[in-house]
Amino acid sequence: MQLDFEEPLRALENRIAELNKLSADSEGQFSSEIAELQRKVELLKKKIYKRLTPWQTVQVARHPDRPLLRDYIAGMFDDFIELHGDRTFRDDKAMVGGFARLNAQNVMLLGTHKGRTVDEKEECNFGMPNPEGYRKALRLMQLAEKYRLPVVSLIDTPAAFPGKEAEERGQAEAIARNITEMAALETPIVAVVTGEGGSGGALGVGVGDVVLMLAHATYSVIPPEGCAAILWREAAKAPEAADALRLTADALLEMGVIDEIIPEPPGGAHRDPAAAISALKESTTRHLKQLERVSPRRLVERRYQRYSRIGRARK
């Protein structure tokens, strides 16, 4: 899948593909021209992605080839043991969690999963957890606290599921309780927005001592289309809503909502998933090492202070 603003890249890459085919038949006759075009592609990637609009960033965050939770599990963690169910209703495939090892550190891993194939997307409800997903996440976080394991939460969800059945089972209460309990959890929490950080769906597993964000991810109180539908009664105004929401990593770092931006490879994580996963692993590991030196009581105090600062007027 190519995004509209990547059209200049598409033209160069198509030309490279043609020359590679010709070069194979002519014993490398076009190798110098291919090398020059590849250099231009790398420069153009940096130029385009350096000045993305908020709406273009939304498109990148939603790219179907972007790494998903299962990719991060395979590329970052060892010995993942998945745990299932909320012990109340059922298991929610949109919320995944379990014991894992990050380098030599045992952790409790949580994450929202969108699914890659059509069948997997349906099974995972397109990454939109139900109340039982948040209750499962809370159960695992409390288990992590019991065994003094840090929590790593990977967030990529458009929103919590807004269906009638979810509301009947207490969607709002489940998210609100998670936020309350995470604020007081006596174990380190590192939350990372890897794609879409949408609304309460993200907040329900997003209260951390450190909140990280990939460079082309988004994090907002509502998706741009929903905001546009409310304010302008027209979903086509989504690009304008994206501008107003300040949902990009740069804007959120400036406001103090996140603590660090994790760089993505040129052209976005979807062009080089392995590099994006490696960068996320390095940043997460570094912050966990810093947090493990902080006492549980001090962690809770600092977490309270961190979230109390958000939204304060500047003098």
Q: How far apart are CA 89 and CA 105, in angstroms?
A: 32
Q: Are residues 16 and 76 in the same domain?
A: no
Collapsed DSSP state (helix, strand, coil) of residue 307: helix
Verify that 11 and 103 share a domain, yes or no. no
| 145 and 277, same domain (yes or no) | yes
Alpha-carbon dihedral angle through residues 46, 224, 260, 102, given to the nearest 10 degrees: -100
8 A C-beta contact, residue 4 and residue 10: no
Is residue 215 in some structural domain? yes
Distance CA 259, CA 275 (A): 21
Domain range enclosing 132: 57-309
How far is it, in rounded angstroms, from Cα 205 to Cα 185? 12
Whole-prediction pTM value?
A: 0.91
Number of domains in the chain: 2
The helix or strand, by DSSP H or E, that contains position 155, with its residue range, turns out to be strand 151-157
Q: Which residues make beta-bridge pairs with 153?
A: 110, 191
Q: Provide mean pLDDT across the span 255-277.
A: 94
Give the tens place of pLDDT for each residue, 66-108.
999 999 999 999 999 999 999 999 999 999 999 999 998 999 9
Residue 22: pLDDT band with limits 50, 70, 90: confident
Split at pLDDT 50, 70, 90, the class of 19 is confident
**8 vs 210 pLDDT, higher one:** 210
| Whether residues 81 and 20 fall in one domain | no
- Does residue 110 contact residue 81 with C-beta atoms inside 8 Å? no
Kindly state the DSSP code that residue 52 receives in the 8-state scheme: -
| pLDDT score at 27 | 61
Is 290 a domain residue? yes
Whether pLDDT at 217 is above 70: yes
Specify the DSSP element, H or E, that contains 262. Answer: strand 260-262
Domain with residue 256: its CATH number is 3.90.226.10
Does the residue 80 lie in any domain?
Answer: yes
Percent of the chain scored above 90 by pLDDT? 79
Write down which residue in 33, 51, 69 finishes a domain.
51
Question: Tokens in use for 226?
Answer: 């929903």
